[in-house]
């Protein structure tokens, strides 16, 4: 079996990446390599291993073991980057990426649509350590971002679409503005996954919560920071300095998940679109916040830059309804779980309770909920939504 995947398509690569049966007793999957201590044959080699922590050398558990590296190679391939550093959660991936490129006196230009805990990082620890943050409108143009750049802006942070409100971002335009000002462009690519190729669009550092679709089964927490070679040392140094680590057992599960990423995501996109279109047809619904729909204001950019969509979107009801009615709809759903996170094989529903924004509005125009569509038959999901909405949304 040859591991030369150059020029092969994604489905083929996902089946063959990070496997070397010859070196592991013929077994198909890389095993779970557990270890803190790694024994070396001589003192001289032990001394020399100290400098190898940026390489895929095995020197000590926290620097990464073969199961970590197998997953890292697979994620780097999916995102089209050179190197990936696996982290214990999506949030720790954000923390590592920020600390890799920021120091006291620096400034961050942060999308107002960022994942909530990324905002908290800026408002608390980064602020306490002397890093200031300005928020910008997610839909900003190149000129608008340029106007907000300061001489000490070292990171421009993006996330497309926004958490909760789903505005699309023009990543290539924002990348041009960031690079003109000498800043790194960071992106939370958790929604895009394999459907957005960050490094072709000007991103320097791509962050993913592998907890979501890569894990895919709602049973692990994990994150990744992917870069080109030029930015790798800064990321790996931040990871090691901050003592970040992911369990090899969880890496094994993420690697199992990534083998089926493409088919799950394609199927879930189809289901998501079917449910979203049905919701659009309902008189109770004001808007579905989903860039994959032609009616969405971010659709043109999504179509230009993305090759597909995941199945997470928002639903805004007409203002005649109350949030209590939305809660009642969600409580009466039989097939949708109520809970945080997304990207598993099962459907979830959540009320959109609180939206925190600094420079954009927080009013969606009506009470809202967020849906994650799983692998259940969409006809059953639609029937479930139909019964819960009919029962609870009498105007």
Contact footprint for ligand PLP (CB under 6 A): 89-91, 115, 159, 163, 188, 190, 209, 211, 221, 223, 341
Whichever of 310 and 388 has its CB closer to ligand PLP, that residue is 310
Question: Nearest distance from residue 42's CB to ligand PLP, in Å?
Answer: 40
Whichever of 186 and 388 has its CB closer to ligand PLP, that residue is 186
Tokens 């959660």 sit on residue = 89
Question: Nearest distance from residue 48's CB to ligand PLP, in Å?
Answer: 35
Question: Nearest distance from residue 295's CB to ligand PLP, in Å?
Answer: 23
Whichever of 112 and 188 has its CB closer to ligand PLP, that residue is 188
Question: Nearest distance from residue 61's CB to ligand PLP, in Å?
Answer: 21
The residue of the chain with the least Cβ separation from ligand PLP equals 90
Question: Nearest distance from residue 161's CB to ligand PLP, in Å?
Answer: 10
Question: Nearest distance from residue 159's CB to ligand PLP, in Å?
Answer: 6
Question: What are the CB-based long-range contacts (under 8 Å, 24+) for 255-259?
Answer: 255/18, 255/29, 255/30, 255/67, 255/70, 255/71, 255/74, 256/29, 257/210, 257/213, 257/214, 257/215, 257/216, 257/217, 257/220, 258/14, 258/71, 258/74, 258/75, 258/78, 258/214, 259/14, 259/15
Whichever of 157 and 321 has its CB closer to ligand PLP, that residue is 157
Whichever of 140 and 163 has its CB closer to ligand PLP, that residue is 163
Whichever of 18 and 189 has its CB closer to ligand PLP, that residue is 189
Can you list the positions of beta strands (E) in 150-221? 153-159, 184-188, 205-209
Q: Where are the alpha helices (DSSP H) in the chain?
A: 10-16, 43-49, 66-79, 90-101, 116-121, 127-128, 142-148, 171-180, 229-241, 248-259, 261-280, 299-305, 323-331, 378-392
């Amino acid at each position: 079996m040859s591991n030369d995947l150059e020029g092969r398509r994604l489905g083929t690569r996902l089946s063959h990446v990070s496997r070397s049966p010859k070196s592991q007793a013929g077994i198909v999957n890389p095993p779970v390599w557990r270890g803190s201590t790694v024994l070396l044959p001589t003192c001289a080699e032990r001394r020399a291993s100290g400098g190898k922590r940026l390489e895929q050398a095995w020197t000590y558990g926290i620097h990464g073991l073969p199961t970590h590296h197998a997953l890292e190679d697979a994620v780097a391939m999916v995102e089209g980057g050179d190197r990936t550093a696996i982290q214990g959660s999506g949030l720790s991936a954000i923390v590592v990426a920020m600390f890799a490129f920021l120091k006291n006196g620096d400034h961050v230009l942060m999308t107002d649509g960022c994942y909530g805990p990324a905002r908290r990082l800026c408002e608390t620890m980064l602020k306490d350590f002397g890093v200031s943050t300005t928020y910008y409108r997610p839909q900003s143009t190149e000129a608008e971002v340029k106007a907000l750049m300061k001489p000490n802006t070292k990171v421009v942070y993006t996330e497309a679409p926004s958490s909760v409100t789903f505005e699309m971002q023009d990543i290539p335009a924002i990348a041009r503005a960031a690079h003109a000002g000498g800043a790194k462009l960071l992106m939370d690519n958790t929604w895009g996954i394999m459907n957005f190729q960050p490094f072709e669009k000007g991103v320097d550092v791509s962050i993913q919560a592998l907890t979501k679709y890569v894990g895919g089964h709602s049973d692990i927490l994990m994150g990744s920071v992917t870069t080109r070679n030029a930015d790798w040392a800064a990321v790996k140094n931040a990871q090691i300095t901050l003592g970040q680590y992911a369990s090899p057992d969880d890496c094994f599960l993420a690697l199992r998940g990534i083998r089926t990423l493409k088919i799950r995501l394609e199927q879930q996109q189809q289901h998501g679109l079917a449910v979203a279109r049905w919701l659009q047809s309902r008189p109770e619904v004001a808007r579905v916040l989903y860039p994959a729909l032609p009616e969405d204001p971010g659709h043109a950019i999504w179509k230009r830059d993305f090759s597909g969509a995941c199945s997470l979107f928002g639903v805004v009801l007409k203002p005649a309804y109350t949030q209590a009615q939305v809660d009642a709809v969600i409580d009466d759903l039989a097939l949708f779980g109520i809970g945080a996170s997304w990207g598993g094989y099962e459907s979830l529903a959540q009320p959109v309770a609180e939206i925190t924004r600094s420079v954009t509005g927080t009013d969606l125009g009506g009470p809202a909920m967020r849906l994650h569509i799983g692998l259940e038959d969409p006809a059953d999901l639609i029937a479930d939504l139909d019964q819960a909405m009919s029962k609870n949304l009498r105007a």
